[in-house]
Structure 1
Amino acid sequence: MEQMQESLLTIKELKNAVHGKIVGLAENIKNFSFTSVAIDSRQVVPGALFVPLIGEFQDGHKYIPQAIEKGASVIFVTKSIYEEDERKYMSLASENPKVTFVVVNNNLHALQDAARVYVTKFPHLVKIAITGSSGKTTTKEIMANILRQKYNLIATVGNFNSETGLPLSVFNIRKEHEAALFEMGMNRENEIGEIAKVFKPANAIITNIGTAHIGILGSRDNIAAEKKKIFKYIKRDGFAVIHIKDDYARFLAKGVEGKVVYFGADIPEAESGVKFIEDLGVNGTKFSIDGIECILKIPGSYNYLNALSVIAMAKALGISAEQIAQGINTLKPPEGRSSVKVAVTKKDSKGIQKKITVLEDCYNANPDSMESALEMCAGLQVKGRKIFILGDMFELGTESVNAHTRVGAAAVVAKPDLLIFAGRDMENAANAAKLGGCHNLEYYSDLEEDNLKKLTSGLLNYLKDDDFIFVKASHGMHLEKILEEVIENKEEK
């Protein structure tokens, strides 16, 4: 007989964590147990805690019946919603004796509070967090592959790094895990503060302070102050890793209780243990760690810098140079994030296919990462021609016009053979590129069906063997649609 999985929290632990009120009969309380957590009723599995969130356009409470049908065993109900129709929820409780309803003041905060208490059940867990204006997910992937050489690791899947994603990730921790690595992002003021309070990282990396989300936070000063909250829970035996050349480095280090560890390309080998050997272009960067050679297969000096932050943290945690090198050498670039592929195109209008190289970075973009990537592409030695496809960068507020204009100017400096811009804001980049003397240029205000067809059919006819395509935009632009229409198949380089 299969052994029943233990509840992630007891009824007392959950009630105290969320300051909740249990609704229902003795039978409901007797059956209390949950072994997973979901905020989407479609993701509910038997034995799940369902947290129906209230968003700008949706109220998750309307999906409670579907969650029950799929086997939810515990359900949060927002107090104000519950008080509007107590009889409804009392009736649901009596009709579903295997479901425990918990009334809370705020479902999001209750989710976070429950996750915070859950983490305390793992006092020996090595806890590491990563944030920054750009490079978070790539840095997390590098760090994760290194940590796996020493620990049984639980890490953020994809970019589950938000006010909801972080607590959901936390609930995946189990007794067998020795280390936890979580990415922390933000889309509003104090989001880092809230999710850092959930996980309370003992060690953390800030990759950089840039201009991502400046439209929300208002200034780089505010961004730096928000990102710094990731260091709040680091004690004397913990590590705070900071880029030595970041202009906010001194501010970030101030008041940190643990040890501040700096990283950077200019730190001497005698201090860092790292020696740069060669920029391999689209094939990445070769370097050594305490004399052991390794290759980071993600191109760009900015990604090498991300690796340096990870190496600094790994060495501080006592991970050996052999384990660090093994983690870097076996790393596969995250899909859609600076991943380089050799691809065969679909047939053009003459029925001809071509073999090309694609550098795909469709998942995120901000002015800093965009300009760094363009600088990297400018220095790449490729057999064929260079084609850049650039899309809108989101959440820049009043900085958007200037930021996109700078990208247009930077793209011209990189000297592509064909420059394609997509998105309303990229019109500013297109105008700047024209002023900069770029003549082989195309602009599309959107990627709706007609524009997508025109862009991709033209691109298929333009491409030749050995051409190089660089694609980058914020994820909401979905530039991957272009590649789906152009490429027949692709393989890792």
Structure 2
Amino acid sequence: MEDLYQKYLACGGRVTTDSRAIAGGEIFFALRGENFDGNDYAAKALESGAAWAVVNDDAELPADARFIRVADPLQTLRDLAIWHRTHVRDGKLPVLGLTGTNGKTTTKNLIAAVLAKKYRVTATQGNLNNDIGVPLSLLSIKSDTEIAVIEMGANHPDDIAKLVRVSRPDYGLITNVGRAHLLGFGSFEGVKAAKGELYKWLGSHRGSVIFLNEDDPDLREMAAKQPCHTFGYGIAAQGAQILPATPEEPFLRIRLGDALIRTQLVGAYNATNVLAALAVGDYFGVSRADAIAAIAAFAPDNNRSQMVRTQANTLIVDAYNANPSSMRAALDNFRHVQAPRKLALLGDMRELGEESLAEHRKVVRQLRGDGLQACLVGEEFRRALESLEPGDEPWFADSAALAAHLTAHPVRDAVVLVKGSRGIQMEKVLPVL
């Protein structure tokens, strides 16, 4: 690993798993998956300017000294990331690991923005939070980085346990635990156990700190099992006040003591994400004024808690993903939005296993109980509608069908919530709104 690490340093710390992203001088890692084999693109990566290509030792490739043959390029990528984590800045770089059911990426971005007011920060880009993305995020840490914020996602029981062994965090934050990816986790208790591997790692390493939402009983229970310090935050715990959203002030605003915190985020459910970022800033010595300024300047993207004004409507776009807890929070917030006309465009929540029907029925009942007009998309909502008393919610097989309907029947002068799981691609309706 020492030899590969020296090659990595000589390449300026640049690695990639995508042969299309070669700019020249990188190390290309040829990863294999169910439907692809990166070894097929290794020679092209070298032709495009990659300095080295890490390939499988059984790959049929031409003789070239720039091929580094290993048993498993993915494991080698992880090992290189661990080596870098334990050697950059003599292994003493503070790393904050972050996971949770909802709000991971938004919270990570808020924390990075706050810390950047005082430190040189490396943070996970986009949602590179899986078994490939976390090593790539660690390998993006530069020699002058002063703190790293690493997001970790999970769909299966052992995902976080694996990722903490790579990222080796000194500090940790779980945004929340909810009913998501139940097909992989098996149950809500399975979700808690999987996410709790972050706390377990911190508890087994002296000097670690948990940033804890003290309003959340599940997180309090999970943290109490670990012998490490906590640094708390929370709406109730801190006496914070969420100010009402109005047509004139549509974004989340929070009164915390004498301070008014303005954001460009939609939804009261983002308040704990904001307070988490403030707590991390407080712990690491970022002035409260600088932290509030960083939060005010942060603009969400990629269909996460965005407010978009078109010529016809005001859109609340939260279409990157959906699960029962995030859907309930989005609808709770939407119920309080003040507008003459409101419309919810909701797509299926995926990967819920045996609980899918029950959870989609709950969403339909919440819509009806709140008197919200809605259009529903996907097979799971079809099953839910067929199992309930008839209602007036139009149903569409996919987002393209809904987009066609909205083109034929335009919506105007409305506030429109757009939400659904990634696979439903609810963003397809945005151009017609």
Question: TM-score surpassing 0.5?
Answer: yes
Is 1:186 the counterpart of 2:154 in the alignment?
yes
Is the 8 Å Cα contact of residues 296 and 304 (structure 1) preserved in structure 2?
no
For residue 415 of structure 1, what is the amino acid of its counterpart?
G
Is 1:392 the counterpart of 2:348 in the alignment?
yes
Residue of structure 2 equivalent to 1:175: 143
Residue of structure 2 equivalent to 1:102: 68
Is 1:92 the counterpart of 2:59 in the alignment?
no
Residue of structure 2 equivalent to 1:230: 198
- Output aligned runs, 1:407-422, within 5 Å: 407-416=363-372, 418-422=373-377
Cα deviation, residue 262, structure 1: 3.1
Q: Which whole-Å deviations, capped at 9, do the CAs of 1:107-151 have from their partners, x for residues lacking one?
A: 222111111111221334332121101111111122122111111
- Output aligned runs, 1:79-228, within 5 Å: 79=57, 81-82=58-59, 88-89=60-61, 91-93=62-64, 97=65, 99=66, 101-120=67-86, 121-122=88-89, 123-228=91-196
For residue 422 of structure 2, what is the amino acid of its counterpart?
H
Identify the match of residue 287 of structure 1 among 236, 240, 254: 254
Q: Which whole-Å deviations, capped at 9, do the CAs of 1:155-210 have from their partners, x for residues lacking one?
A: 11111111111111212111222221121101223221222112111111101111
Residue of structure 2 equivalent to 1:481: 428
Cα deviation, residue 407, structure 1: 1.2
Is the 8 Å Cα contact of residues 162 and 186 (structure 1) preserved in structure 2?
yes
Query: Residues 215 and 160 of structure 1: is their aligned pair in 2 closer, same or farther, counting only changes over 3 Å?
Result: same
Q: Which whole-Å deviations, capped at 9, do the CAs of 1:200-227 have from their partners, x for residues lacking one?
A: 1111110111111111011122211211
Identify the match of residue 55 of structure 1 among 33, 42, 50: 33
CA distance, structure 2, for counterparts of residue 92 and residue 38 of structure 1: 22
Aligned to 2:95, the other structure's residue is in SS state: strand
Query: Residues 34 and 321 of structure 1: is their aligned pair in 2 closer, same or farther, counting only changes over 3 Å?
Result: closer
CA distance, structure 2, for counterparts of residue 468 and residue 201 of structure 1: 41
Q: Which whole-Å deviations, capped at 9, do the CAs of 1:264-290 have from their partners, x for residues lacking one?
A: 222144xxxxx3151225723322445
Query: Residues 33 and 308 of structure 1: is their aligned pair in 2 closer, same or farther, counting only changes over 3 Å?
Result: closer
Residue of structure 2 equivalent to 1:11: 3
Identify the match of residue 447 of structure 1 among 399, 406, 416: 399
Cα deviation, residue 240, structure 1: 0.6
CA distance, structure 1, for counterparts of residue 236 and residue 104 of structure 2: 21
CA distance, structure 2, for counterparts of residue 45 and residue 74 of structure 1: 13
Q: Which whole-Å deviations, capped at 9, do the CAs of 1:50-83 have from their partners, x for residues lacking one?
A: 111111111221111211211222222224x24x
Aligned to 2:198, the other structure's residue is in SS state: helix
Is 1:278 the counterpart of 2:278 in the alignment?
no
For residue 445 of structure 1, what is the amino acid of its counterpart?
A
Q: Which whole-Å deviations, capped at 9, do the CAs of 1:291-348 have from their partners, x for residues lacking one?
A: 222213312221112222222232222322112211222121233111011111xxxx
For residue 382 of structure 2, what is the amino acid of its counterpart?
E
Is the 8 Å Cα contact of residues 378 and 413 (structure 1) preserved in structure 2?
no
Identify the match of residue 50 of structure 2 among 72, 76, 93: 72
Residue of structure 2 equivalent to 1:308: 275
Is 1:457 the counterpart of 2:403 in the alignment?
no
CA distance, structure 2, for counterparts of residue 372 and residue 454 of structure 1: 28
Residue of structure 1 equivalent to 2:17: 39
Cα deviation, residue 106, structure 1: 2.1
Is the 8 Å Cα contact of residues 421 and 430 (structure 1) preserved in structure 2?
no
Is the 8 Å Cα contact of residues 122 and 147 (structure 2) preserved in structure 1?
yes
Aligned to 2:111, the other structure's residue is in SS state: helix
Is the 8 Å Cα contact of residues 238 and 258 (structure 1) preserved in structure 2?
yes
Identity %: 29
Structure 2 unaligned segments of length 5 or more: list them.
Answer: none
Normalising to structure 2: TM-score of the pair? 0.91
Structure 1 unaligned segments of length 5 or more: list them.
Answer: 1-8, 18-30, 83-87, 270-274, 345-354, 488-493
Identify the match of residue 326 of structure 2 among 353, 369, 380: 369
Q: Highest CA radius of gyration, 1 or 2?
A: 1
CA distance, structure 1, for counterparts of residue 317 and residue 298 of structure 2: 17
Cα deviation, residue 369, structure 1: 0.2
Is the 8 Å Cα contact of residues 202 and 228 (structure 2) preserved in structure 1?
no
Normalising to structure 1: TM-score of the pair? 0.81
